[in-house]
A and B are shown apart, each in its own frame.
Chain A
Amino acid sequence: MRKSSIFSRKVLAVPYAVFLLLFVVVPLVLIIVYAFTDSDGGFTINNFTSFFSEAHNINTLLISVLIGFLNTFICLLIGYPVAMLLAKKELGFGKATVLLFVMPMWINFVLRTAATRDLLFNIGLNGGEHPYIATMIGMVYNYLPFVILPLYTTMTKLDKSLLEASYDLGANKVQTFVRTLLPMTMPGIISASTMVFMPTMSSFVISDVMGERKISLIGNSIQLYFDQGLWHMGSLVALIMLVLMSVTAFFDDSGEENARGGLW
Chain B
Amino acid sequence: MNTKNSFSRFLSKFYVYILLLLLYAPILVLIIFSFTPSRLIGNWSGFSLSLYGALFKDKEIMQAFANTFLVAVSSAVVSTVIGTFGAIGIFYSKKRTKAIMDAVGNIPVMNAEIVTALSLTILFVFAGIKFNFLTLLIGHVVLTIPFVVLSVRPKLMQMDPNIYEAALDLGATPSKALRKIVIPEIMPGVFSGFILSITLSLDDYIITAFTRNTAFQTLSTYVYGVTSKKGSLPPSLRALTTVITLIALIILIIVNINSSDKKEENKR
Contacts and interface: CB of A to CB of B under 8 A. Distances in A.
B253 to A, nearest CB: 9
Contact of A19 (B82, B88, B110): B82
Contacts of B50: none
A100 B17 CA distance: 10
Interface residues of B, number: 93
Interface in A75-111: 78, 81-82, 85-86, 88, 90-91, 93, 95, 97, 99-101, 103-111
Given A5-B168, A9-B174, A16 B123 contact: no
A147 interface: no
Contacts of A213: 228
Interface string A219-250: 10011001000010011001001100100110
A232 to B, nearest CB: 9
B89 interface: yes
A161 B50 CA distance: 58
A209 B104 contact: no
Interface in B126-150: 126, 138, 141-142, 145, 147, 149-150
Interface string B196-209: 10010011111000
Interface stretch (A43-51, A55-63, A116-124, A180-188): A116-124
Interface string B166-205: 0010000011011000000000000010001001001111
Size class of A's contact patch? Answer: 35 or more
A178 interface: no
Contacts of A10: 89, 92-93, 97
A53 B174 CA distance: 61
B125 interface: yes
Contacts of B88: 9, 12-13
A213 B93 CA distance: 49
Nearest to B259: A264
A10 B258 CA distance: 30
A141 interface: yes
Given A20-B104, A31-B122, A99-B252, A202 B141 contact: no
B27 interface: yes
The B contact surface, by secondary structure, is: helix
A116 B122 contact: no
Interface string B76-109: 0000001101111110110001000100111111
Contact of A13 (B25, B93, B228): B93
Contacts of B30: 115, 118
A121 B258 CA distance: 40
Contact of B111 (A6, A82, A242): A242
A4 interface: yes
B16 A93 contact: yes
A85 B174 CA distance: 49
15 contacts: A14-B89, A15-B85, A15-B86, A16-B149, A17-B89, A23-B138, A24-B105, A82-B19, A110-B205, A111-B220, A119-B29, A241-B114, A245-B112, A248-B110, A260-B147
Q: Which 10 A-B pairs have the closest CB atoms?
A: A13-B89, A16-B86, A27-B119, A202-B112, A106-B248, A12-B89, A115-B26, A5-B174, A12-B85, A9-B92
